[in-house]
A = this chain, B = another copy of it.
Amino acid sequence: MRGKAPPKQRSGCPISIALEIFGDSWSLLVVRDLMFKQRRTFNEFLSAEENIATNILSERLARLESNEIIEKHQDPNDARRYIYRLTEKGIALAPVLVEMILWSAQHETTAAAPDVVAEMTAHKGRFLLRVRQEWARIKLP
Min CB distance A37 to B, Å, is 10
Question: Could you tell me how many residues of chain A have their Cβ less than 8 Å away from some Cβ of chain B?
Answer: 43
Question: Inside 8 A of A72's CB, which chain B residues have their CB?
Answer: none
* A105 contacts B14, C-beta separation under 8 Å: yes
Given B10, B20, B104, which contacts A49 in the complex, CB threshold below 8 Å?
Answer: B10
Question: Inside 8 A of A15's CB, which chain B residues have their CB?
Answer: 28-29, 32, 97, 100-101, 104
* A19 contacts B14, C-beta separation under 8 Å: no
State the A residues within 8 Å of B (CB).
10-21, 23-26, 28-29, 32, 48-51, 89, 92-93, 95-97, 99-112
* A100 contacts B11, C-beta separation under 8 Å: no
